[in-house]
Structure 1
């Protein structure tokens, strides 16, 4: 005897490949399906709708299929209210709690759909039922005893970003994927246009940067982008800031002159001397105000009031006084930045790109640039499927981007 569940798909389900993916999921997990209703959009801006019956051998198999379909935006055709269970203790969630995707999500409460705020992957959803109902994500370590946590998958609707036929405009190229064969200059021009459009809409651009950006000689161009307001926020590690400041004070980055590529005598000590000087001043802002730091990315962040987060790691020298060494505190600071960002440039840093990517909703525009294809593909594999990947030298990408944005105005 088989069991079944009626589900529905709506939106640009053909162009996005959503319908084909769902058929594959059902068959791969040993189920079967029959399409009961199918209404195809006849024009580019029209959406499609499908209702189908999913069948399985038993309830466990059916639940597994429905769970996988749900992650792709398939929802029950007869939604019920979400199940809410109080958290039994601080940092403890109920069994079977709903673990979020990074897609726009709604929960059904008292017969109404409520949008979940601050979407990011791998969180719980907490509901507050006061004068007006609120639903929002919470990381596990922020759960408090008594929080009403959404459990199971009843009364939850997920809406993955779609790919309509008409993918024009400044953001038309941002449909995900990675290639080292795309024409670099034309793609960078499109990225520049997307940044302009983001700023025109009043949005914020977050740059996530690795030390290779400094080593490759792109420091001055990124500093110009910060100064001119095309980068509103910066997320990096201790190493990026140290090498940026070292370049200002000693003319080297990790002991190497980035222009002549020479290694000055005792240059290997410059980064630790740099850390010492900033500690002596009391921090980056104090070092800028005293004149110890006179140029560079961190200088422009301070001078132009662009907020930055430096998240520490176990391998940091020093670290700088501004580096957040508590991992949970660093996560929360990164999360706050990520929720403010409308577009994110991930520039040659695997760990920070994945960390920030984990905090982003799938509606945030993301560009990831790295010479190593594994960095870009790992970001996409971790769930940031909305990211556009470019496999290219960061020392080439940033100067061309700055030229497109600043020299062609």
Structure 2
């Protein structure tokens, strides 16, 4: 059965509670980077604010930010990006009584009756994921032409010959519209093409090569000598893989570094807030996000991803998956407030290969 995008059912603002609700209250930010007392913190769900008698939707939201009136629209702004004097929404009730309404059920279909007690309602390594895979295949086929698919990847995805080849095929097939990662994913993927190893191990046999511990820093040094990853690739030093295909097909990617990075690659953001802004620029366009084996980047991405997106004036859901072999890793994101995440506990290398087979 082909994928059908769920329809959004907006609140009925003709109801008395909305008609009789007061306009939302704004207070000026007292200084740059500081919200006024009683500020309203945003969530992952659609939020409406009554301004001059009209209920306005915050169209580009993220959790743990503040709502600001900019150019007649509600902008959702990180605390660090607030400007002194900007009108910030204040109020901490979310039931319309203060002109603020959080709407969590806009995409909810009529639910069937569920048993009070039932086994295996959580997500674990024992969960059957056959239906999840089939759903992902259908979703990706839809999103290829109607949305933007953003992938978040840890270095495990580059350590295996088959998973590298599978993801490269997904890029060529049009199933990748953006990539978020750290220095390690890109470094080891380039190493795999340049020297056929990842962290010094053959990417197919996993056999350690003589002096293999030099290989990733040799790769980093070589890329830095060329000045950029694109120049390294254009010189023929990397001829396949994840980053090669992204560069070749003009797929945007954002690499945000950490204190443990070697090198790093020239494109890696060393300033985490500049990196966060670059990540959010891609997240703002994404309609499906799939995170694989990178707890730090997964939680970071989840915390800046709302449950919805406005595309051509239509509110639609954002699909968010977290894939990891660790139950702890996939559950951590949900614990951090990203309640709309769908989790799959499996080896991400196998996951990528399965997705490639399912859609290509």
TM-score bucket of the superposed structures, by smaller chain: 0.7 to 0.9
Give me the TM-score of the superposition, normalised by structure 1. Answer: 0.76
Map 1:383-394 to 2 at 5 A. Answer: 383-394=337-348
Query: Are the counterparts in 2 of residues 84 and 150 from structure 1 also a CA contact under 8 Å?
Result: yes
Q: What is the aligned partner in structure 1 of residue 190 from structure 2?
A: 245
- The gaps in structure 2 that reach 5 residues or longer are 1-7, 93-97, 113-120, 309-317
Query: Are the counterparts in 2 of residues 233 and 306 from structure 1 also a CA contact under 8 Å?
Result: yes
Structure 2 vs 1, CA of residues 345 and 90 (structure 1 numbering), >3 Å: closer, same or farther? same
Residue 179 of structure 1: how far off its partner (Å):
3.6
**Separation in 2 of the partners of 1:98 and 1:186?**
39
Q: What is the aligned partner in structure 2 of residue 353 from structure 1?
A: 298
Query: Are the counterparts in 2 of residues 185 and 400 from structure 1 also a CA contact under 8 Å?
Result: no
Map 1:112-191 to 2 at 5 A. Answer: 112-128=54-70, 133-153=72-92, 154-161=98-105, 162-165=107-110, 178-191=123-136
1:316 aligned counterpart, secondary structure: coil
**Separation in 1 of the partners of 2:134 and 2:214?**
39
- Figure out how many residues of one structure are paired with residues of the other and give that number: 325
> What whole-Å deviation, never above 9, does each CA across 1:95-115 have from its counterpart, x for those lacking one?
111111111111111111011
Give me the TM-score of the superposition, normalised by structure 2. Answer: 0.86
**Separation in 2 of the partners of 1:46 and 1:98?**
24
User: Does 1:236 find its partner at 2:176?
Assistant: no
**Separation in 2 of the partners of 1:177 and 1:183?**
11
User: Does 1:399 find its partner at 2:344?
Assistant: no
Q: What is the aligned partner in structure 2 of residue 107 from structure 1?
A: 49
Query: Are the counterparts in 2 of residues 223 and 300 from structure 1 also a CA contact under 8 Å?
Result: yes
Map 1:10-409 to 2 at 5 A. Answer: 78-128=20-70, 133-153=72-92, 154-161=98-105, 162-165=107-110, 178-200=123-145, 202-217=146-161, 218-363=163-308, 364-406=318-360
Query: Are the counterparts in 2 of residues 206 and 231 from structure 1 also a CA contact under 8 Å?
Result: yes
Query: Are the counterparts in 2 of residues 246 and 253 from structure 1 also a CA contact under 8 Å?
Result: yes
Which has the higher relative contact order, 1 or 2, with Cα contacts under 8 A spaced 6 or more apart?
2
Q: After TM superposition, where is structure 1 displaced by more than 6 Å over at least 4 residues in a row?
A: 45-49
2:201 aligned counterpart, secondary structure: coil
Larger radius of gyration: 1
> What whole-Å deviation, never above 9, does each CA across 1:76-130 have from its counterpart, x for those lacking one?
89421111011111111101111111111111111110111311000011013x5
Q: CA RMSD in A?
A: 2.2
Residue 396 of structure 1: how far off its partner (Å):
1.0
- The gaps in structure 1 that reach 5 residues or longer are 1-44, 50-74, 168-175
**Separation in 2 of the partners of 1:46 and 1:245?**
46
Query: Are the counterparts in 2 of residues 369 and 391 from structure 1 also a CA contact under 8 Å?
Result: yes
